[in-house]
Each structure stands twice: as structure tokens, then as C-alpha cells.
């Protein structure tokens, strides 16, 4: 089951890499991030059904959560990114590469994402890999509540930022309203909370190993994504340094302004 899911994801990533070569846009990998987990989850389900295994309530709940999270993120990024050329981060990597970027991008961008997806999908593999899943309603309801909060947090934050950027007058301003008043990255917090809810759901199997998913998401946000985003912002937007001093980086909280 796990091998089949990883194989399907590898084939999809390889096909996407070939498309990126034709488009000369490696940043299309960002759009695939959420969809990759949806693919993995559905392949696990179909693989189990092919083996004659029944779908438990916990597994059905997981399938719904991952599908809703992944497809929303995929469509949002596709609508935002497609047609705007390659993201500057990938262009910078392309230009600084001393070797053939076509080969480098396959391993450094596409296969690296595949490895990260394989690790973060741990609770998915745990839930679908356990034949005897105790459908604990307290765990399921807790997971659904956390997921709903995270989903609303991420969706609202994305829409607030979209509305802010749609106004040309805000091109040099800082988004510090709505959820962005309480966290510099409320969308990432909502994303993390959804993966934490998936870990909570995996506790119904009796395994704690699924904690690797939210832990890895925190690592990616704290050590990679946020650093890459905030470094240019502090130079591009006057007052961003003050915004960083006043506003929590990740977990929402009251402003630290002394005014």
C-alpha cells in the first residue's frame, strides 16, 4: 500500500518535472504540494479496497480532511501563480546553479518535495496501514474541530491577503490587519493546525509516530519558508522590521507594541 502510493507520487512528480522543463517554470511544484497528499491518500484507500479491506470511519474522516485541505490549497495556488512566470526563488536557484538546471531541479526541487511528502504522510500511512482502527468518537470529533479551526484560519488569511494585494495602493504597505494583526503568517499556522489534527486522528491507532507530520511542518515553516519570505520583505517594505518586532511570527497572539 505504501509502496504503491509513493510510486504514484513519484510518477506524478516526474511528469510535472517534464512539464516544468517545457514551461521553463520550476515553481509549478508549489501548486502540486497539496495535491500530492490527496493522491497519496486516495491511492492508499483504493489499495486497501483492492485487498478487500473495509473503510473505517477514521479512514473516511482522514480522506475527507486531506482532500479538502489539499484541493483548496491546490486551486488557490494555481489561480494565484499560473500565468505569472517562475517564482523569484526558483529563478534565483536556476541562475546560481553551476550544473544543468534540468537535472538539478529534478533532484533538488521535485524529488526533494517527494521525500518531504513521504515523511509528512506518516499519519496517513499509519491510519490506512492499520487493519484494526478503533473508531474513537472523542478523537475523531477533536480532530475535526481542530481541522475546522485550521481550515478557516488558513482560508481567511489567504483571502485577506488576496484582497490586500489586489489594491495597487498597498504595493509598498504592510498587511497588518485581520488575522495578520495577530500573526505574521496566520495562513501557515492554519496549515500546521490542520496537520496537527491529522496527527490527533492517527492516535486512534495507538501510535504516536504520526507526530512527525506537524513536527516536520513546523521545521519547514520555521527554518525554510518563513526565512525565505521575510528576508526580502524587511528590505522591500519600510516598517516591516517594526511589524516583526510587534507581531508574533507564527502562533497568533496580541500585539507586542509598546505604543
Q: Return the domain boundaries, the chain.
A: 1-132, 136-259
Burial class (CB in 10 A: 0-12, 13-18, 19+), 235: exposed
- For 65-105, write each residue's pLDDT tens digit: 999 999 999 999 999 988 888 888 888 889 888 889 899 99
- For 35-75, write each residue's pLDDT tens digit: 999 999 999 999 988 888 888 999 999 999 999 999 999 99
Structure confidence at residue 12 (pLDDT) = 97
For cell 490527533, what's the residue? Answer: 200
Q: At 158, is the pLDDT very low, low, confident or very high (cuts 50, 70, 90)?
A: very high
Structure confidence at residue 65 (pLDDT) = 97
- For 132-147, write each residue's pLDDT tens digit: 777 889 999 999 999 9
Amino acid at each position: 500500500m505504501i509502496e504503491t502510493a509513493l510510486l504514484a507520487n513519484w510518477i506524478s512528480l516526474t511528469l510535472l518535472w517534464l512539464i516544468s522543463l517545457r514551461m521553463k517554470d520550476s515553481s509549478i511544484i508549489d501548486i502540486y504540494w497539496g495535491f500530492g497528499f490527496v493522491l497519496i491518500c486516495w491511492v492508499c484507500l483504493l489499495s486497501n479496497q483492492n485487498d478487500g479491506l473495509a473503510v473505517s470511519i477514521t479512514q473516511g474522516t482522514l480522506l475527507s480532511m486531506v482532500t479538502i485541505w489539499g484541493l483548496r490549497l491546490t486551486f488557490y495556488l494555481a489561480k494565484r501563480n499560473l500565468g505569472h512566470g517562475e517564482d523569484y526563488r526558483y529563478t534565483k536557484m536556476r541562475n546560481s546553479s553551476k550544473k544543468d538546471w534540468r537535472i538539478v531541479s529534478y533532484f533538488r526541487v521535485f524529488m526533494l518535495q517527494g521525500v518531504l511528502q513521504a515523511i509528512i504522510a506518516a499519519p496517513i500511512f499509519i491510519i490506512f496501514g492499520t487493519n484494526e482502527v478503533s473508531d474513537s468518537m472523542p478523537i475523531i470529533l477533536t480532530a475535526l474541530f481542530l481541522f475546522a479551526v485550521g481550515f478557516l484560519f488558513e482560508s481567511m488569511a489567504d483571502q485577506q491577503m488576496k484582497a490586500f494585494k489586489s489594491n495597487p495602493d498597498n504595493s509598498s504597505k504592510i498587511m497588518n490587519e485581520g488575522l495578520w494583526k495577530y500573526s505574521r503568517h496566520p495562513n501557515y499556522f492554519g496549515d500546521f493546525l490542520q496537520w496537527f489534527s491529522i496527527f490527533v486522528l492517527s492516535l486512534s491507532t495507538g501510535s504516536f509516530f504520526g507526530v512527525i507530520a506537524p513536527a516536520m511542518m513546523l521545521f519547514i515553516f520555521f527554518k525554510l519558508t518563513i526565512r525565505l519570505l521575510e528576508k526580502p520583505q524587511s528590505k522591500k517594505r519600510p516598517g516591516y522590521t517594526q511589524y516583526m518586532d510587534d507581531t508574533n511570527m507564527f502562533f497568533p497572539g496580541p500585539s507586542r507594541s509598546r505604543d
